Structure 1
Amino acid sequence: MITESTASHRVADCLVRVDDVHLPIAEAVTMVRQLSHRDRAIHDEIVDHCLIRAEVRADVEPLTEDDLRAAAEEFRDGVPLRDRAETLAWVAEMGMSGGQFEGFITLIARRRRFRRRKEAELAPGYLAHHQDDFDQVRAMWVTSAHPVNGEILRGLGGLLGCPEAAVVVGTRLARDLPAPLRHAPRDTLVGPVAFERGYLTGLVLERRAAGADSETLAMAGRAAFGEWLTARRERASIEWHWTTS
């Protein structure tokens, strides 16, 4: 049973509550230090951390030395820290004991293991429904302020009169191409179509269908996990505890 004073103390020490997981301010500060160089919004990263923490709460399966080593490497790369001396200095700066730091790395290892297993679970179904997103596509496209006749892509000389045009030629996963090109068949001209603040015209040169090899399944698993986590975040009850002076 939580008394009023205990509940007040919990809220005072807590940055956010996600469902029934309360994230202490000290742990959130540690996360911000580790995540601040990434592109994603930090508040989303913090919520995702809480959601995965809830998933591993009942995990008592022993971790291997490889699990812990990989977790420690991920942590050091994320901060970043170059060696043992810098790691010890960081631990001291954060006010952690040796046991607290060990528990911190253990939590990272359990989160990594959960994610790896969830990705493997979700990958086959995701790939079955999004297989063409993982096709290898070689294409060329031009983005410009004004519409460009696609036929000149078959002989780029015509673009010399378009000084504002930017031309890209390369091979990418279909899902990483500009949206108008993602599902176009081989030797298909696309556009000109409105794109971002101008126009896009493209030509698909080659398209190789994706298979269910280990590399493609791994990519599908990562994409599926991202969607799963987004859906969990949208369903979660989230309460931030901000203080003002």
Structure 2
Amino acid sequence: MPLFPDHLLNDALAFLRRVSGAEPADARRLLGDLRAGYPDVPMRLVWQRDHPGGSHHYDLLIPAPDGTVSVAFAPARAVPWPLRGSHGAGEQVVVRVDGVDVRMEQAMAVLDGLWGDSSTAARLVNAALVEQELEREPVELSAEELQEAMDAFRRSRGLLTVRATRDWMAERGLDHASLEMIVHQEAAIARLRRRVAADGAAELFAADPGDHDRLCVVRLRYPHLEAARAAAGRLRDRARPGSGPLAPAAGKDAAETRGQTFPKAAEEARAETFAKVAEESFEYGADVRPALVYRRELGPDAVGAGAGEVLGGGPEPLVTCVLEVRPAVLDDETRRAIENRVFDDWLARRRAEASVEWMWGTARRTGSVTRALRTPDGSRGASATSLAAGG
């Protein structure tokens, strides 16, 4: 029984010769033609670049029943793939300072904090899982879609002029082709997120709209838990009577009035809260930060919380004062937030099933991190929105 369909390997070699010298974005697009001819054969294109500005070497990976077949083509005067590792001692050097090399193992020792923060490890694993999914079901962008994505990418980073964009690229050692790759990756991840979430955002919102109320809050972080608990007590003791949520007025929907006060009472409550927060900062050393968050982000203590209420006393040295509640609306921002949550849950399930093999670190440390990655909250701080490079 033949290992592959007739002509597959010949067509694969023809494809690799065709993409020799091409940029990855073009090579990925051309791979679509080969995939169309063999829709039942999974294929993955990988590449390596010798140095910035150098050409790309491509390898096509094709799964077989008992392994993987790697197909490659090296044009004239290029170094074949198997020989590249034979003279690449410099590949282990991360940086050279005054003629002294800092090698990979030394850099990893400096980055020892990775093993104490599973969110960093989760970002690495998430990126690999997303790349795998996009290889399985690629996202193609038209020239117009890529330009729209590029414009959005620049706006989000304040790169509003050609000079600002060029300076930003120079700081990161990027040429235009590399920038297009980063933008394409970011747009592809957004498409994948929508694909995973499908049309479930409206359904999840309708199931519990209160989860998506937006709360204007002030967060006070203290040096230790005892200080935060004492602060929560002080703030609650001094809470202004009647500054919390009011019952819905007759004939009004609960969503219109959830957690709100009358305008004058709300204004007075905010002024008093700011005065109390300032005292906590000056007298007790609290780190004070305002934020606009969804109710569900604050945990079960925030269910039904209204303006003027104080949340705290949990496992973190953190106290939260609610200034205002904005009833939930399924707008674009809320839809994206729900899609991100669905995508993060999807990534958590994929991490739990993935085979993760660390190439450095002790077995005790890598095992601990891998176990953390397999728990539902193992990606805390590793949002799917931060997967694309170049930010």
- Residue in 1 aligned with 2:354? 236
- Residue in 1 aligned with 2:236? 150
Cα separation, 1, equivalents of 2:198 and 2:285: 42
Q: Structure 1 residue 213 and structure 2 residue 297: aligned?
A: no
Tell which structure's C-alpha radius of gyration is larger.
2
- Residue in 2 aligned with 1:164? 284
- Residue in 2 aligned with 1:8? none
- Residue in 1 aligned with 2:124? 46
- Residue in 2 aligned with 1:124? 202
- Residue in 2 aligned with 1:5? none
- Residue in 1 aligned with 2:295? 174
Structure 1 or 2: larger strand share? 1
- 3-state SS, counterpart of residue 215 of structure 2: strand
CA distance 1:86–1:133, shift in 2 (3 Å)? same
CA contact (8 A) 1:150 1:192 kept: no
Of 315, 322, 345, which aligns to 1:227? 345
CA contact (8 A) 1:191 1:201 kept: yes
- 3-state SS, counterpart of residue 237 of structure 1: coil
Cα separation, 1, equivalents of 2:316 and 2:342: 27
- State which drifts further: 228-237 or 142-151: 142-151
- Residue in 1 aligned with 2:254? none
**C-alpha RMSD of matched pairs (Å):** 5.0
Cα separation, 2, equivalents of 1:171 and 1:53: 32
- Residue in 2 aligned with 1:35? none
Q: Structure 1 residue 82 and structure 2 residue 202: aligned?
A: no
- Residue in 2 aligned with 1:193? 313
Unaligned runs of 5+ in 1: 2-19, 31-38, 93-97
Give the superposition deviation at 1:190.
4.5
Cα separation, 2, equivalents of 1:141 and 1:90: 38
- 3-state SS, counterpart of residue 283 of structure 2: coil
Cα separation, 1, equivalents of 2:186 and 2:214: 33
- Residue in 1 aligned with 2:134? 56
CA distance 1:140–1:40, shift in 2 (3 Å)? same
CA distance 1:239–1:70, shift in 2 (3 Å)? farther
- 3-state SS, counterpart of residue 210 of structure 1: coil
TM-score, scaled relative to structure 1: 0.56
Unaligned runs of 5+ in 2: 4-41, 53-116, 241-271, 362-391
Cα separation, 2, equivalents of 1:101 and 1:176: 34
Cα separation, 2, equivalents of 1:140 and 1:124: 29
Cα separation, 2, equivalents of 1:45 and 1:216: 23
Cα separation, 1, equivalents of 2:140 and 2:45: 24
Amino acid paired to 1:131: P
TM-score, scaled relative to structure 2: 0.39
CA distance 1:119–1:138, shift in 2 (3 Å)? same
**Paired residues, what number?**
206
- State which drifts further: 183-192 or 232-241: 183-192
Identity %: 23
- 3-state SS, counterpart of residue 207 of structure 1: strand
Give the superposition deviation at 1:110.
3.4
CA distance 1:110–1:239, shift in 2 (3 Å)? same
CA distance 1:56–1:194, shift in 2 (3 Å)? closer
Of 203, 212, 215, which aligns to 1:137? 215
CA contact (8 A) 2:215 2:325 kept: yes
